[in-house]
Amino acid sequence: MQAAILYVVTAAVFLAADALMLRQVMQPLFQRHIGDWLAEPIRMGPAVGFYLAYVAAICWLVSWPALQADAPGRALLNGAILGAAAYGTYEFTNYATLTRWSLQQVAVDLSWGIALTGVSALVGVLVARWIAG
């Protein structure tokens, strides 16, 4: 039960925060730099697949071990590291291979991925720990 709570809470935090960030910051930023490359409408299948798999990876690699060790700070740190690796892979590969990819996109999205992954992992652990008593 604790694992299910961990996944649901982590997913809820991640999705809510990312939806807000995508609408308010990322969409205008990406529109400015690569607007004519963006899919309209967005392809939901790959997006849903990413979110389900990435939240599972956060829980498996970061949150569950931190929860078992009763070390929420470890969830924040290791989540930030996972976010840097995942978002860094995407951003630096695009910057290396796409002529119109900007350093601003790299900096904003990489920073967001680090913060989002770390905070989502932390909140998931704190809530799962609180509910479990």
Distance between CA atoms of residues 75 and 73, nearest Å: 5
pLDDT band for 22, please (50, 70, 90 cuts). Answer: very high
Distance between CA atoms of residues 15 and 92, nearest Å: 23
Distance between CA atoms of residues 13 and 30, nearest Å: 23
Question: What's the pLDDT at 70?
Answer: 97
pLDDT band for 7, please (50, 70, 90 cuts). Answer: very high
End-to-end CA distance of the chain: 13
Domain boundaries, the chain: 2-132
Position 109, amino acid: D
Check if the beta carbon of residue 78 is closer than 8 Å to that of residue 103: no
User: Token match 């004519």: residue?
Assistant: 36
Which tokens go with 118?
């770390």
Average pLDDT, the chain: 98
pTM: 0.96
Query: Environment class of residue 123 by beta-carbon count within 10 Å: exposed (0-12), middle (13-18) or buried (19+)?
Result: buried
Helix axes 44-58, 2-21, angle to 10 degrees: 130
pLDDT band for 133, please (50, 70, 90 cuts). Answer: confident
